[in-house]
Amino acid sequence: QRQASSDSACTIYSLSSGHVKCGVSVIRLSGPRTKQALRAIIASGSKNTQNGFEFEPKPRQAYLKSFYHPVSKEMIDRGLLLWFPGPASFTGEDSCEFQVHGSLAVIAAMLDALGQCDGLRPAEPGEFTKRAFFGGKLDLTEVEGLADLIHAETEAQRKQALLQSTGALARLYDSWRKRLIRCAAHLEAYIDFAEEEQIEGGVILQLTRELNTVKAEIRDHLNDQRQGELLRDGVRTCIVGAPNVGKSSLLNMLCQRSVSIVTPQAGTTRDIIETMHNFGGYPVVFADTAGLRRQTSDAIELEGMQRAKQWINQSDLILLVADARELATLDSSQSKSLTNYIEKYLNDLDIQLDLYNGNVLKLVANKTDTLTTDELKNLHKLSNILTISCLQPTNEALQRFLQALEQQLQQLCGTPRAEHPRITHMRYRQQLERCIEHIDIFLSDYKPDVYPDMAIAAQKLRQSVRCIERITGHVSCEDILDVVFKDFCIGK
């Protein structure tokens, strides 16, 4: 069971909708004094209508009520009140919701009124969710899924976050955890009840088989080409090519044709300007790596080039821009000629790519407007190449280009599915890899005809359980909690 939050005795309140003018605003409360507070807010104070103090709300039912300031007794607004008694609430505690008119004045008056109620204080960012976590309502993957759902910018991101916030990963990880615990418990039972020589070979075989099965399932889950992470964090995309081939023009065109995404984490790679964009539901992070030129003696420019090259190798998608004129002269009947061209081009640019990490390179032939019809036909015969004129894009060419780009993104990000929840955080991946390592250490010690010290062997197996528990938050891990809840909004 999880340790209790430091001051769960406190009742917290917060505006859960944004601090902007809107039709309806939602203010939430959670904690043991919720019912007293809601009663104080609906009691008008005049002698014959003190019945607010006896008001007995039914769970999860909306009441239309007048809300009063408990000190000035002045009416603030008329709105809806909902009561969610614990433990069947989001936080697991008694909680309630006030829905009031969304003006800044009403919100300010309501928050002031709640501040006057006994034992209430404003909630910290993410504190409602933190209470839900400590109350055992959500595990950490669900908490992080919820944070992602709140921050989701594209349709595919929303789907993935929704699955995770409703427990798709939690169930998977918990099933592995339970199976590993069962294996360890099995082993421990023998330590207590049997002499070493009495252990049946069959039991050992069964244990080994189960561990190998769990291991294979985790391996399979890890072998995902980072699709979930790409969808969550955005597909890092760079545009490279020789000077004047139209890199900036392409970047500008793509940025104009996409919905830009505002992210608080933008610009994480120093000195390279990053922007996030939505292409057909898939998030793309562009970096402007302008100035990737081969020969330069300027120190600052050299430094910039170094960074740009680093970025290229960290990119998930590389758009290599070339002049359509050059490509049009290639022999389309020879598939090798394009590969050779790309190799030579990269070499001329002094770019070494290790295309092993799942990243993809796409050749873009720009300036098709400079070609004759025949040349363009020849160019279209080359397979696996995108064509565009950034200067004079026809609607048809642009559609084709964007469609091909979206298709590529879809391949990189995959499709979120309930049956196959995906790793969305590096942290999960690292712990799962360690989990496998611990299972392997155990298996290498423990063979059918070798009987190691059982207590030590069982302990090693318990280590693998702990790795999974670090993902889900079953073991206390303050450092992880700080990171997880840091990015939460107020009121959630």
From the list Zn ion, ligand GDP, none, pick the one residue 246 interacts with, judged by a Cβ distance below 5 to 8 Å according to partner type: ligand GDP
Q: Which is nearer to ligand GDP, 207 or 402 (CB)?
A: 402
Q: Residue 35: which of 115, 95, 117, 113 has the closest Cα?
A: 95
Q: Which is nearer to ligand GDP, 104 or 391 (CB)?
A: 391
| Closest separation in Å from C-beta 409 to ligand GDP | 22
Residues 6+ apart with CB under 8 A from 479: none
From the list Zn ion, ligand GDP, none, pick the one residue 429 interacts with, judged by a Cβ distance below 5 to 8 Å according to partner type: none
Q: Which is nearer to ligand GDP, 369 or 440 (CB)?
A: 369
From the list Zn ion, ligand GDP, none, pick the one residue 369 interacts with, judged by a Cβ distance below 5 to 8 Å according to partner type: ligand GDP
Chain positions contacting ligand GDP, by CB under 6 A: 241, 243-249, 366-367, 369-370, 389-391
CB contact burial 195-204 (16+ within 10 A = b; e otherwise)? eeeeeeeeeb
Q: Which is nearer to ligand GDP, 102 or 393 (CB)?
A: 393
From the list Zn ion, ligand GDP, none, pick the one residue 244 interacts with, judged by a Cβ distance below 5 to 8 Å according to partner type: ligand GDP
Q: Residue 365: which of 394, 343, 385 has the closest Cα?
A: 385
309-368 residues near Zn ion, rule: CB under 5 A: none
| DSSP state for residue 420 in the 8-state scheme | B
From the list Zn ion, ligand GDP, none, pick the one residue 79 interacts with, judged by a Cβ distance below 5 to 8 Å according to partner type: none
Q: Is 248 near Zn ion (CB under 5 A)? A: yes
Give the DSSP letter string of 127-188: HHHHHHHHTTSS-HHHHHHHHHHHH--SHHHHHHHHHHHTTHHHHHHHHHHHHHHHHHHHHH
Residue of closest CB approach to Zn ion: 248
Q: Which is nearer to ligand GDP, 1 or 295 (CB)?
A: 295
**What end-to-end distance do the CA atoms of the chain give, in Å?**
23
From the list Zn ion, ligand GDP, none, pick the one residue 304 interacts with, judged by a Cβ distance below 5 to 8 Å according to partner type: none
CA 261 to chain CA centroid, nearest Å: 15
Query: Percent helix, strand, coil in the chain (nearest 5)?
Result: 50, 15, 35
From the list Zn ion, ligand GDP, none, pick the one residue 425 interacts with, judged by a Cβ distance below 5 to 8 Å according to partner type: none
Task: Give the C-alpha separation, 484 to 350, whole Å.
Answer: 40
CB of 30 closer than 8 Å to CB of 5: no
| Closest separation in Å from C-beta 337 to ligand GDP | 23
Q: List residues bridging with 147 in a β-sheet.
A: none
Using alpha carbons only, give the angle 308, 313, 317 rounded to the nearest 5 degrees. 100
Helix (H) or strand (E) holding 439: helix 426-445
Q: Which is nearer to ligand GDP, 217 or 323 (CB)?
A: 323
| Closest separation in Å from C-beta 368 to ligand GDP | 7
Q: Which is nearer to ligand GDP, 256 or 268 (CB)?
A: 256
From the list Zn ion, ligand GDP, none, pick the one residue 249 interacts with, judged by a Cβ distance below 5 to 8 Å according to partner type: ligand GDP
174-233 residues near Zn ion, rule: CB under 5 A: none
| Closest separation in Å from C-beta 438 to ligand GDP | 50
Q: Which is nearer to ligand GDP, 224 or 369 (CB)?
A: 369
Q: What is the CA radius of gyration of the chain?
A: 30
Q: Which is nearer to ligand GDP, 290 or 443 (CB)?
A: 290
Using alpha carbons only, give the angle 353, 422, 357 rounded to the nearest 5 degrees. 10
Q: Which stretch binds Zn ion (CB under 5 A): 132-140, 152-160, 284-292, 463-471?
A: 284-292
Task: Give the C-alpha separation, 64 to 100, whole Å.
Answer: 10
Task: Give the C-alpha separation, 387 to 377, whole Å.
Answer: 11
Q: Which stretch binds Zn ion (CB under 5 A): 146-154, 253-261, 285-293, 395-403?
A: 285-293
Residue numbers at the binding site for Zn ion (CB under 5 A): 248, 290
